[in-house]
Amino acid sequence: MKYALLKKPTKGDKIYIRLSLKIGDEKSLTGKNIIPSLTARMLKNGTSTKSKKDINDLLDKIKSSIDIYGDGGSVGISISTDKENVNAALDLFADILLNPSFDKNEFDKMLLDIKGEYEANRSDPQFVSSNALNKKTSLYPKGHPYYPEDIDESLDDLKKASLGDVKNFYKDFYGTNNSYASFVGNIDQQAIKSFLEKNLSNFNSKQPYTEIEDRYFDVKGSTETINIPDKTNANCAGTINIAIKQTDPDYPALEIANELLGGGSFLSSRIPQRLRESEGMSYGAGSYINGNYKYAASSWGVYAIFNPVYKNRLDSALHDEINKAIQGGFKEDEFKKSVASWLQQRKTILGFDGYLNYIITDYMKDGRDLTDFTNAENKVKKLTLDQVNAALRKYISPDKITLIYAGDFNKKAF
């Protein structure tokens, strides 16, 4: 296990802990489908000495939280506690991770809960649009660890899943020999090191680990409308797959192009300014960039939450705003304001210890340190407006966007 310890004062002596367990490889994880997720979710349902209720009662008593999730080739664990209770929280975490009971009754209850969650998602415009978007743009083959299942496929997997599958997955794949952890807050560094050595140093996975490579898929733009009756809010989700990685020369300019287009604040970002502030069609709108550090498999996305009667107007305004930016370019004054805003946001988020905890672990996974954070800022400071406009025109186009609208669109616009 690789780990980082950052001792610093925090409000209320809070301590944030994040672990990322890297497990398996593309071949060994293919066909596992829902099992990695179920295994991670089962861990908090009981240990050899504690019931699910015991665990929850103890978490309440020590004012701590432990969240565990599994997906593809990783298991993520987030722990929030404080200086007074950190030892108790870590001991409980070790018990949960190392001694799961995999109780049959709890497993059956969990399956019913998950089934209810899936069924509820059928009428959630945000889930439906995001899921449909992933199906159209993330073209991994069925069974691949990154394959995006729809609700029906997930429900079918749920029917086939057994407690034996979960036990076997834990036995074969779980271990901390390929893992990363970060501890941020008012910590006793020697106590943390002793805990890790005592509890996790010999917890090794039987299956070898190889990172699964993210892939770029060349997807043509399209628009789809999914009607969900009796929903007062609608959702728009859109994506362009981009063959670029964070270390490429164009990436900083693309990052700022997104900031100007929809990633910044309402005062300095065109899409939310148009859809929400100027025309009042959207409750929330903007754009974002998911930059991949290692692989040329990034994406640019756009979103809007809106009253469904405005769908056609919103679609037209969204395309119009992107076209205006491409044809006319951004202006020097808004470029300077957005760069300043972007830099200030970076400074602000480093003040959030939970976020700092997250990026330290993420950076370790990618084999980099926090100097990369500063290097990215230095690259942005050197950008010119021409470089940003060129990146926008090179990578972003309305014709390339896959857009999904989900909501009740049977009502007439007024």
**Domain 2-199 is of which CATH architecture?**
2-Layer Sandwich (3.30)
* Segments making up each domain of the chain, as ranges: 2-199, 222-407
Q: For 47, which DSSP code?
A: B
DSSP letter (8 states) at residue 400: G
For residues 256 and 277, what is the distance between their CA atoms, to the nearest angstrom? 21
HSE value, Cβ hemisphere, 13 Å, CA-based, for 92: 29
Candidates 402, 407, 397, 403; CA nearest to 310 is 407
Tokens coding 138: 């993330």
**What CATH architecture applies to the domain 222-407?**
2-Layer Sandwich (3.30)
Phi, psi of 211 (to 5 degrees): -60, 140
- 382-395 per-residue burial string, b: 16 or more CB within 10 A, e: under 16: ebebebbbbbbeeb
Q: Which residue has the tokens 């073209």?
A: 139
pLDDT by residue for the chain (414 residues), tens only, comes to 999 999 988 888 999 999 999 999 999 999 999 999 999 999 999 999 999 999 999 999 999 999 999 998 999 999 999 999 999 999 999 999 999 999 999 999 999 999 999 999 999 999 999 999 999 999 999 999 999 999 999 999 999 999 999 999 999 999 999 999 999 999 999 999 999 999 999 999 999 999 999 999 999 999 999 999 999 999 999 999 999 999 999 999 999 999 999 998 656 799 999 999 888 899 999 999 999 999 999 999 999 999 999 999 999 999 999 999 999 999 999 999 999 999 999 999 988 999 999 999 999 999 998 899 999 999 999 999 999 999 999 999 999 999 999 999 987 654
What are the residue ranges of helices labelled H in 146-237? 151-160, 163-173, 189-199
Among candidates 69, 22, 81, which has minimal Cα distance to 354? 81
Same fold, 2-199 and 222-407: yes
Alpha helices, DSSP H, located in 99-217: 104-121, 125-137, 151-160, 163-173, 189-199
269 Cβ partners below 8 Å, 6+ apart? 259, 260, 261, 262, 263, 286, 287, 338
